[in-house]
Structure 1
Amino acid sequence: MPTRVHEFSWPDRVVVGTIGLPGARTFYLQVRAGTQVVSIAMEKQQSAALAEKIDEILDELITLKGNPFSVPTGTPVELVDNDPLEAVHEQFRTGAMSLGWDPTTAQIVIEAHPLPSDDPDDNDESLHEDGTDEPEMLRVRMPVGTARAFTKRTFEIVAAGRPMCPLCGYPMDAEGHICTPPES
């Protein structure tokens, strides 16, 4: 069966955002072009790693002689997006992701695939609105300025979680935190 591809070549918006309180947040990669909005659930670590890798690619492109792709060193002010997520209808939970660079359009390319089903006999969760169980994926192409703004916001969202314990290094919950300091 062919894969259903949710493709965004020049998105109006591409952001990582969360729903829930620190310690119980769900991270989403949300993309919009016109009226089409796709939201996929991600792990916090996936969000952070994606932003780090995009930043690495952009920083490497800057070093090319003459910066031929006009990669900004910082986030262009006009591309800063601090708005909350739009209505979230989770398309799928992200499993494998790939990241690339398209020099013909000067765009970062993200591909995300859903987690594989644990139970091959359980088709209920993989059924789509139209009743099919076709495989799907998300492909997003971002211009360099949008990619830089994406990484800035993603780093801020990831850092806005629970504070880290200065003694043990693990996250502290609002209800309290009991830890054993490292032995000297």
Structure 2
Amino acid sequence: MTDAPAHVHEFDWPDRVVIGTVGPPGARTFYLQARAGTQIVSIALEKQQSALLAQKIDEILDQLSTLEGNRHSVPTSTPVELVDNDPLEAVQEQFRAGTIGIGWDPTTAQVIIEAHPLLLDDADEDAVDDVAEAESEMLRVKIPVGTARAFTQRTREIVDAGRPLCTLCGYPMDPDGHICIIPEY
């Protein structure tokens, strides 16, 4: 049994929640960034975590929109006024996400995202204190349903904006060249 995190970066009604990237395609680092007033928290994610997060949130919203006449007013598409295409704000990585949980708060009609740091199995003795400190925090963000739709749209666009895939082998192509590896059958 693990202890509760010592420090929770909590955003109950954030001003902004987005996924964005730093770096060129092929070498991008994905970040989940939340801001409320002057408090900004950025956590690093894998591209696949970002894509899966958007997919799962959309699944929750789609399911909720069909319940009892959509009593939570879940939009079926992204409200235009909530589209956020601005770049990330100043990025200072808080931690790299390991486990990410998604939930629903029916009392406030918000999607909940909880991210916990990546656990290091092979931490050397010098890093044990740093690992323990990182593992003692988490990020919790609550997003209203319209903002959640805008979040998933932006996330899908960011994920899809990477390197184009080779039509022959399906692997990403680098701007400076590509060696096509076609599997043998």
Q: 1:79 aligns with which of 78, 82, 90?
A: 82
Q: 2:28 aligns with which of 25, 38, 58?
A: 25
Amino acid at match of 2:8: V
* Number of positions where the alignment pairs a residue of Structure 1 with one of Structure 2: 180
TM-score (norm 2): 0.92
**Aligned equivalents of 1:106 and 1:2: distance in 2?**
25
Residue aligning to 2:159? 158
**Aligned equivalents of 2:119 and 2:157: distance in 1?**
29
**Deviation string, structure 1 residues 35-58 (Cα, Å, up to 9, x no partner):** 000000000000000000000000
Residue aligning to 1:34? 37
Alignment CA distance shift 1:99-1:69 (3 Å): same
Q: Which runs of 5+ in 1 are unaligned?
A: none
**Deviation string, structure 1 residues 96-124 (Cα, Å, up to 9, x no partner):** 01001111110000000001133152146
Q: Percent identity?
A: 71
Alignment CA distance shift 1:157-1:133 (3 Å): closer
Cα distance, 1:2 vs. partner? 5.3
Amino acid at match of 2:41: V
**Aligned equivalents of 1:66 and 1:144: distance in 2?**
15
Q: Which runs of 5+ in 2 are unaligned?
A: none
Cα distance, 1:125 vs. partner? 3.9
Partner SS, residue 46 of structure 1:
helix
Residue aligning to 1:177? 178
Q: 1:105 aligns with which of 102, 105, 108?
A: 108
Maintained 8 Å contact 1:123/1:133: no
Superposed, 1:43-54 pairs within 5 Å as 43-54=46-57
**Aligned equivalents of 1:30 and 1:156: distance in 2?**
16
Q: 1:60 aligns with which of 63, 69, 85?
A: 63
Amino acid at match of 1:119: A
**Consecutive aligned runs of 4 or more in structure 1 exceeding 6 Å deviation:** none
**Aligned equivalents of 2:173 and 2:72: distance in 1?**
42
Cα distance, 1:133 vs. partner? 6.2
Residue aligning to 2:123? 119
TM-score (norm 1): 0.92
Maintained 8 Å contact 1:168/1:179: yes
Alignment CA distance shift 1:79-1:174 (3 Å): same
Maintained 8 Å contact 2:117/2:134: no
Cα distance, 1:66 vs. partner? 1.0
Residue aligning to 1:139? 140
Cα distance, 1:126 vs. partner? 4.0
